[in-house]
Structure 1
């Protein structure tokens, strides 16, 4: 989690962090001691009213400063009751009253941008929008300018600018209303169906920011719930399928600042990483957690926070024989270090790592915090980021992690910014098709809405960026995660609410949006319609969160099994009958898997199995020395055509190709 705003920790796990915070307190006191009574000029003007007349060419503006004392009180619990960092003569900041006066009915067609900029490259400001004395939204990256997006609804906000690192700098704030990109008609496909499986009592009871993976060789599902590694076995010989959970944690799961699990579906190797300063305590297993081998944990000079582990084939010319005696795939360990981020590559399956390499070239490219690393089947490595200047973006390596470039998620129209991504607070996510030529970028846009963009040229340019929540009236999301199958199929999961901003009345559900036409259209469905995942707010502020709404932590995860079923691993914060029925939130974090049960799958070769309306199917996997064979047995009366169709699919050459390389 981001040290400045997003890092979370527990008292028993964070001696190193406590030392850092103590040093910070000393630094703050020293700053106060040498403060020379230099006054701060308050915002000029102190307030303003924004109307439809305040377009980008006619914005509201104000200035404030100069600021001579940095205010980093958020690192020491400075946010009190969700109001924002401490603001007083000692810890300076600036408040401006923004009055929004616009007609009704603009919530889904227009948005308000607030941009705070400053002159000195060494300075850094954070920005908060407060409503009813609570944080509505905020931006606290290392970017200049900082940007937030507000809904086009009449109301009153306090725009609070906080000098995180300054040396006599002045800010200029610009505010305007603009059109949103035109909405795209949703897909006419029938949405897939899902069933939710919750872990039994005593397992996965604290599963904030879970990871999930599937071993395609065995079908076992691996799930990381903080310090508990769980193995889940699904039995599809009965309908509905049942799930058996088992705890298979490695010995390295005894202390952590951040938990991460990665399963390489093709090789079957699972790596569990528990952040421990500038490295991690890590082990890997090739038998679904029956045995574990401790490993190095990360590169020698990795970042201090928000590690992610991923892997896949090497890029040319370092390709390896997938059936050879040497571990065939590369493994990457990436982590952030406040203003930058690093990745290190392992050539022996995660046992040891090579040197760490920065993936951003300067502090004005992208903020340090990043999403999960993904490796496409062609060996290209992707690390998404929610703040790259005025947009979101992704760092890309096409030479096995040696060199990196950054691609911002913007459309082809350079005459305006309508349709371009805008920064937000949650990590975006990448999904790549099984050939590696189609890249899906799922993210929370600056206005809070769920967006997906697609690239057909290895994330060099982007197309079909669209709000997939319009039909469901989704106006705020958390925890975007994307997984792809065939090149034209992908699933985008997230928690969503119909209320914008951090509204205490929000009710959050798990949604999955699916495309079957390479990202041109999407069909979105609520897969927990009668059982909310959370009631109230979900805090993204890390150690600055003051309430109990930090229970779900920072992300959820998704994956696909060898037959194309989508699985979403998430933490459920609302599990008691009282909460489910409309009572107060439980603020739990119970390990739960949403598993696809019907509809088209992400691998088209298995659509027939997922769309049968009668009979139960038994999927038996056997292994011989040269190949893996699939057999389906249908035992329902009158299912002859289904059996013959399945037999034709199982014998087809395309199925063999998909099984080996998908």
Structure 2
């Protein structure tokens, strides 16, 4: 993608309709889909002003939203930004402000940011071994308060911070200085620890192991806590929420410990849950999932009690063989007694747009039945960690308004790829050079007070990589994929970027009319409407464009 481009036009058209006969629970067969009208979704791309310190350090970006002030918080390496959008103009105008706090802006092994959507407190954690430099703000970075940084014990890698309501089924805290429970989770190779704070992040209790080396691999995604459930017709009764959810890409150990090298030793993906405020934890696998060696899964729950699990479902050369690709799957579940998750069959979100490989799946949920799922996708098959991989990667966004029965899917960057060529993720199942370790382990997604789905990601293809006819750096030119990996036109940037839904379905139903897109043909100048596809019916609409956590060097400043 181009460094100087603030808002890039994107236009897609329908090319063909293919009938799909029936639904099936098999993981390798896509769910049926139906078409939707042109103009159902518009997504705008935003970046810091060119030359802003921290603009090119977003290899592991985080994003959150303060629902009280309608301010978004974005973490790019050591730089914390507040980002405001002015919706009185179309497209909305963005304003970026560096609000970094010196103790969390000096050095880091892993950066993470999280904003509590109920009390609007933003937490920043910069990993420093077995603990982290940690602080929080209640005024969008106007002032900061340092926190303990971890529970003891804790892991030394890939920390996550999350917060949400206490579960009424668990033992309530003796006292709390903050309305929500705050969690700090981190992995320790053969396990992971989660510690709870009842002081809003000022201090943490003892870290609790959430699974053993016989249940899951150590690496996990970002912890989320389910929202209070609002009673809706046909849904579960109102409740206080508070199901703590930690996603994991490798769980339920195989009986055969001599599995071939390069394969997952745990065959499934899972959500590790606590129904008692983090005291005890349970591994709940997605039964039709396949473990991956690359991207962390993501999980969230809407206000109707539906759980959404977005993940890279691995594709192997043969059953139990080496992973060579991944599908953009999502599974939904209802929550039963004791926090038991009852899973529906997974859906291949990328199928109607031809996605053959996926990275960095991220899920966020809003009101009852409403959720968004974003990921980087490539329509090129094969091992994306092979140096000769000839694909490019776009940012996709899918939205459901009926609890996952239908999904609207949009390529938000159809003319300006986020990345070209191979990607260096696991570092053990391909020949992609370390120069391509620009996009590390995850991106992020949030929802603002009006229900805009907002994706925080890193743009890896800028400048000469994105300009011209593509001959300077194109993995689509047979015989020259290495051009994307080194040199002045290489796809090696990590440019701080935001994709924000400008019009289309809100993640809160009451704002649908406020952000409805104009009818087809009613485009507004400088705000092109990007059509999408919907999963969940009887036909496929194919669209086309017209125009690990493997330790990296500490960030220092």
* TM-score range relative to shorter protein: 0.7 to 0.9
Match of 1:438 among 290, 298, 306: 306
Q: 1:353 aligned to 2:353?
A: no
1:192 pairs, out of 20, 37, 41, with 41
Unaligned stretches of 5+ residues in structure 1: 1-107, 109-178, 411-418, 615-662
SS in 2 for 1:223: strand
| 1:580, distance to aligned residue in structure 2 (A) | 4.2
What are the within-5 Å matches in structure 2 for residues 134-149 of structure 1? none
Pairing 1:452–2:344 present: no
Contact 2:58 2:495 in 1 (8 A): yes
Where does residue 403 of structure 1 map in the other structure?
Answer: 280
| Residue equivalent to 2:539 | none
Contact kept in structure 1, 2:147 and 2:203, CA below 8 Å: yes
1:234 and 2:85 are equivalent in the alignment: yes
Deviation string for 1:121-178 (max 9, x for gaps)? xxxxxxxxxxxxxxxxxxxxxxxxxxxxxxxxxxxxxxxxxxxxxxxxxxxxxxxxxx
Displacement after TM superposition at 1:514 (Å):
1.5
CA contact (8 A) 1:567 1:595 kept: yes
Q: Which residue of 1 aligns with 2:450?
A: 563
* 1:593 maps to which of 498, 506, 509: 498
The corresponding residue for 1:649 is none
CA distance in 2, matches of 1:241, 1:320: 43
Residues 310 and 375 in structure 1, CA contact (< 8 A), matched pair in contact too: yes
- With over 3 angstroms needed to count, the CA separation of the structure-2 counterparts of 1:261 and 1:543, relative to structure 1, is farther
Shift of the alpha carbon at 1:517? Answer: 1.9
Structure 1 residue 598: Cα displacement: 1.0
Provide the secondary structure at the position in 2 that maps to 1:548: helix
Q: Is the 8 A contact 2:303 2:369 kept in 1?
A: no
Change (3 A) 1:611 1:432: same
- What CA distance in whole angstroms lies between the structure 1 residues aligned with 2:27 and 2:306? 26
The correspondence of residues 36-51 of structure 1 with structure 2, limited to 5 A, is none
Q: 1:459 to 1:257 in 2, by over 3 A?
A: farther
Larger fraction in helix: 1
For residues 522 and 336 of structure 1, the distance between their equivalents in structure 2, rounded to whole angstroms, comes to 33
Superposed CA offset, 1:192-227 (max 9, x none):
220000111224221111000000000000000010
- Residue 479, structure 1, aligned to residue 325, structure 2: no
Q: Are the equivalent residues in 2 in contact too, given 1:507–1:532 (CA < 8 A)?
A: yes
Does 1:370 pair with 2:182?
no
Against the structure 1 CA distance between its residues 266 and 319, is the aligned structure 2 distance closer, same or farther, given a 3 Å change threshold?
farther
Residue 400 of structure 2 corresponds to which residue in structure 1? 515
Please give the TM-score of this superposition, normalised by the length of structure 2: 0.73
Shift of 1:577: 5.1
Write out aligned runs for 1:238-317 (5 A). Answer: 238-252=89-103, 253-316=105-168
Deviations 1:323-371 (A, max 9, x none): x9941001000000001000000001100000000100x3121100000
- Structure-2 residue corresponding to 1:56: none
Q: How does 1:73-88 map to 2 (within 5 A)?
A: none
- Aligned twin of 1:468: 349
Counterpart Cα distance in 2 of 1:355 and 1:325: 16
Contact 2:170/2:275 (<8 A) preserved: no
Structure with higher Rg: it is: 1
Q: Counterpart of 1:610 in 2: which secondary structure? A: coil
Larger RCO of the pair (alpha carbons < 8 Å, separation 6+): 2
1:237 CA drift (Å): 1.4
**Closer, same or farther in 2 for the Cα pair 1:267/1:180, shift >3 Å?**
closer
**8 Å CA contact retained: 1:340, 1:363:** yes
Superposed CA offset, 1:502-539 (max 9, x none): 25211000001122221123221100111100000111
Contact 1:264-1:270 at 8 Å conserved across structures: yes
Structure 1 residue 383 corresponds to structure 2 residue 246: yes
- How many residue pairs align between the two structures? 425
In structure 2, C-alpha distance between the alignment counterparts of 1:234 and 1:218, rounded to whole Å: 11
CA contact (8 A) 1:409 1:461 kept: no
Q: Is the 8 A contact 1:439 1:459 kept in 2?
A: no
Q: Cα distance 1:319–1:552, how it changes in 2: closer, same or farther (>3 A)?
A: same
1:491 corresponds, among 372, 394, 397, to 372
Q: What TM-score does the superposition give when structure 1 sets the normalisation length?
A: 0.62
Q: Which runs of 4+ in 1 moved over 4 A?
A: 317-321, 542-545
Identify which of 423, 427, 438 aligns with 1:538: 423
- Mapped to 2, the partners of 1:460 and 1:576 lie a distance apart of 46
Q: Corresponding residue for 2:459?
A: 572
CA contact (8 A) 1:213 1:559 kept: yes
The aligned counterpart of 1:207 is 58
